Amino acid sequence: MLAGNKLKDGRRKKMGVWIKREQCIGCGECVQICPGDLLYLDQEEKVSIRSSRECWQCMACVKCCLFEALSPKLPYSSADYGGTLCPYQGQKKINWVSKNKGGRVEKYFPTKQFG
Amino acid sequence: MGPERVHFEAEVVIIGGGTAGCLAAVTIKEQAPTARVIIMEKADIRRSGCLAAGVNVIKAYLHPGETPESFLKDIRHEARGLVREDLVLSAAKRLNKVVEKVERWGLSILKNANGAYLPHGRWGIKVDGEKLKPLLAEKVKEKEVKVLNRVAATNYLLSKEGRVIGVAGIGVRDACFYIIKASTILCTTGGCAGLYRSRNPVDGHHQIWYSPFNTGSGYAMGIRAGAEMTSFEMRFIALTIKDVASSISILTRDCGAYLLNSYGQQYLTSKNDTVSDLPFPSCLSLFAYLQELKEGRGPCFLETRQLTDKQVRELKESYLNENPATVLYWVTNGVEPEKKPVEISSTEPYIVGGHGQAGYWIDQERRTTIGGVYACGDVAGGYPSKYIGGSWAEAIIAGETIVDQLTSVVGDHELMAGIFLEEQRVFAPLERYRRGLTGIEPWEMEERLQKIMEEYAGGISCRYELSEPRLLRAKEDLSQLNDQVSYLLAKNSHQLMKAHEVLDLLDVAKVTVEHLLYRRETRWPGFQTRVDYPERCDLHWRKFINSRRNHNGAIEMIERPYHQLI
């Protein structure tokens, strides 16, 4: 049902998160964690988001996905298309990588104690 | 055919597994290991409540030289002279111990070269709290607390005498009807977002400061059960980074960012050492910002051009621990805080007991006015600027009182009476859909409610201003909306949860409007600007405005005196 929203790079355009279906293995971790009960596995056992406007941007789903099938997406009304932010979650620490519209990459190591 | 019923019983049920609820659960199990404790949680306790994304600062902590008394004086200043001093003092005595306790569990607190906690302003400490919720959830598991994730509480079950004997709820995923028998219930459901229209349009509907999944269910259950509630007229409105609505605390306290209007003028100047993140009590800082806009000197900013590259990196890393959307917003829009001041804006109003002081009227042991029901954290009233540390301190107080007074679970017969009615009420929207009837979807009713509150009860578009004629109109429209409740539709269990969220919002909205009408002075400009009563009047109004819904559904107002202890 989302076919019309599929972008050339395989991502599906929905507010809240970008979903790369081919990278989703249907483990359901994100479905378990979403505080808004917004994610579900569809008939093909791939993650899908219920509501286009109810995501809080807490990124719990993005952080728990080991397969990088989810990436955060801000509402277009307040943020340009093109930038990305990706977490790399460890047992005790978390690192992040951002890329701006021009492709400039920046890495962050916010967990001071274990950094 | 009715829904499947799922039964549990426990000595203690904690409703809401946020930061307060988890801490209370562990406290109770530490002191009473054999007691059966259940956490009933609408989401999943590993990432639920206000701290789902994490946290980078914990307030409050009493640094060397501070005392519970000095802390109380500052909170009283922030709350414009009206605060439950007994509640603040009892919590303040425990603030440091509880932070040290959570540190022992694994919370990473930043320290200086001497090993002392790195201060964040006068009352805060800096933490790497991205994993705070998973950490608390792990501790809850270790203590063998039974966790019912994805079960949303809908109402207390009461005995004929009005004492609590259980709680009912819906399975958000399985559409089952949950009935938990217990004589002691601790409500830690948090505050209430969603009463007012979001500042951000359509796809940004939930791009808000407070957790949009905290929809006042604990308030609403208390209201429906006839609990006495306090201070719903003290709304909370935050000044935040525009669009992403993230906290400016790190900017103002750790980066020395000060407020600027569009003419580059520093419009509020003062030493920033209060519990507020801003130079003056939060409400007055908001009011000053609104004046700048009103008089044509907006938009307003936080000056950040003094930041070094290293500071900007630390700033971004700090946001990644609490509100990563801020960094994505800056990256995506090409915002560079070291080159251009960061624009701020005010949020939609919220009803909360952790920043404001709306909530259950409780005693020093955190008992509500309903027998057997306790409250702490954002859902408990009377103690503003409570934040995380205060919520934990309350959780310890409530937990210890509960352990002292553990009572046995009541018999089935007494419980059964209320169950059938509640089951019918709870599943009515699903039943309406199953019968093939048309009706109102939860989001439609939410929009209608938010429109009423926005236009007549002081939303963003009217600069949060309040006046009697408009509030009376809000009351009338809410009453009309109440008559529409039987048309609510839910196609599945998720929508059934949404339907109950909007029903809870409606009950909270009605009480909020009564409180806003009753206080005929302006105590908290910005939060509660009565344009028809613009002055603060300590002679008549330095007292608490409380309310209680009676058996006929009418909301009775009660005045309670303020007691100055320090």
Chain B residues with CB-CB distance to A108 below 8 A? 313, 316-317, 320, 327
Residue A79 has its nearest CB partner, among B47, B130, B332, at B332
Confirm whether B26 is domain-assigned: no
- Which pLDDT does position A51 carry in this prediction? 86
Element counts in chain B: helices (H) and strands (E): 16, 24
Task: Find the closest chain A residue to B320 by CA distance.
Answer: A110
Of the three residues B286, B312, B346, the one that is the final residue of a domain is: B346
Confirm whether B133 is domain-assigned: no
CATH number reported for the structural domain that contains residue B325 in this entry? 3.90.700.10
Q: Looking at the structure, do residues B422 and B517 belong to the same domain, yes or no?
A: yes
Number of neighbours of residue B416 by Cβ within 10 angstroms: 11
Q: Does B332 contact A83 at a Cβ distance shorter than 8 Å?
A: yes
Q: Give the residue ranges of chain A where pLDDT is below 70.
A: 1-15, 113-115
Of the three residues B346, B371, B399, the one that is the final residue of a domain is: B346
Q: Looking at the structure, do residues B342 and B261 belong to the same domain, yes or no?
A: yes
- Which pLDDT does position B417 carry in this prediction? 73
Give yes or no for a contact between B92 and B68, defined as CB atoms under 8 angstroms apart: yes
Q: Looking at the structure, do residues B333 and B450 belong to the same domain, yes or no?
A: no
- Determine the Cα–Cα distance for residues B218 and B504; give it in Å rounded to an integer: 9
Chain B residues with CB-CB distance to A35 below 8 A? 43-44, 47-49, 52, 211, 213
Confirm whether B532 is domain-assigned: yes
Min Cα distance A34 → chain B (Å) is: 7
Q: Does A108 contact B213 at a Cβ distance shorter than 8 Å?
A: no
Confirm whether B455 is domain-assigned: yes
- Determine the Cα–Cα distance for residues A106 and A99; give it in Å rounded to an integer: 6
Residue B331 has its nearest CB partner, among A81, A83, A112, at A83
Give yes or no for a contact between B50 and B190, defined as CB atoms under 8 angstroms apart: yes
Q: Looking at the structure, do residues B438 and B316 belong to the same domain, yes or no?
A: no
- Determine the Cα–Cα distance for residues B415 and B157; give it in Å rounded to an integer: 7
Instruction: Note the ipTM here.
Output: 0.95
Chain B residues with CB-CB distance to A78 below 8 A? 200, 204, 207, 243-244, 329
Contacts of A72 (CB under 8 A, 6+ apart): A16, A17, A18, A57, A59, A62, A85, B324, B325, B328
**Which position has the token pair 């960012």?**
B257
Convert the pLDDT of each residue in B455-503 to its tens digit: 999 999 999 999 999 999 999 999 999 999 999 999 999 999 999 999 9
CATH number reported for the structural domain that contains residue B468 in this entry? 1.20.58.100
- Determine the Cα–Cα distance for residues B205 and B524; give it in Å rounded to an integer: 27
Min Cα distance A66 → chain B (Å) is: 17
Min Cα distance A59 → chain B (Å) is: 7
Q: Does A82 contact B332 at a Cβ distance shorter than 8 Å?
A: yes
Q: For residue B231, is it left (φ>0), alpha (ψ between -120 and 50) or beta?
A: left
Cβ-Cβ pairs closer than 8 A, A with B, add up to 149
Expressed as residue numbers, the domain containing B264 is 240-346
- Which pLDDT does position B98 carry in this prediction? 97
Tally of residues, chain A:
115
Of the three residues B331, B346, B361, the one that is the final residue of a domain is: B346
Min Cα distance B557 → chain A (Å) is: 34
Q: Looking at the structure, do residues B246 and B325 belong to the same domain, yes or no?
A: yes
- Which pLDDT does position A10 carry in this prediction? 55
Min Cα distance A22 → chain B (Å) is: 24
- Which pLDDT does position A13 carry in this prediction? 52
Q: Which of B311, B328, B500 is the mutation pick for testing A, counting most A CBs within 10 A?
A: B328
Looking at residue A23, the DSSP 8-state letter turns out to be: G
- Which pLDDT does position B306 carry in this prediction? 94
Chain A residues with CB-CB distance to B108 below 8 A? 111-114
Task: Find the closest chain B residue to A32 by CA distance.
Answer: B44
Residue A110 has its nearest CB partner, among B46, B212, B317, at B317
Q: Which of A78, A104, A111 is the mutation pick for testing B, counting most B CBs within 10 A?
A: A78
Chain B residues with CB-CB distance to A84 below 8 A? 328, 331
Confirm whether B327 is domain-assigned: yes
Confirm whether B134 is domain-assigned: no
Please report how the helices B85-92 and B387-404 are oriented relative to each other, as an axis angle in degrees rounded to 10. 90
Confirm whether B298 is domain-assigned: yes
In this structure, the dihedral spanned by the alpha carbons of residues B536, B540, B542 and B546, taken in order and rounded to 10 degrees, is -110
Task: Find the closest chain A residue to B51 by CA distance.
Answer: A58
Could you give the domains of chain A? 8-73 (3.30.70.20), 82-115 (no CATH)
Domain count, chain B: 2
Residue B321 has its nearest CB partner, among A100, A101, A110, at A110
Contacts of B419 (CB under 8 A, 6+ apart): B157, B168, B179
Chain A residues with CB-CB distance to B46 below 8 A? 33, 60
Min Cα distance A21 → chain B (Å) is: 22
Chain A residues with CB-CB distance to B325 below 8 A? 57, 59, 72, 74
Q: Is the dihedral of CA B491, B497, B498, B500 positive or negative?
A: positive
Min Cα distance B302 → chain A (Å) is: 19
Confirm whether B208 is domain-assigned: no
Task: Find the closest chain A residue to B149 by CA distance.
Answer: A32
Residue B331 has its nearest CB partner, among A33, A78, A98, at A98
Q: Does B53 contact A60 at a Cβ distance shorter than 8 Å?
A: yes
Residue B203 has its nearest CB partner, among A72, A76, A113, at A76
B439 phi, psi to nearest 5 deg: 175, -150
Q: Give the residue ranges of chain B where pLDDT is below 50.
A: none
Q: Does A75 contact B173 at a Cβ distance shorter than 8 Å?
A: no
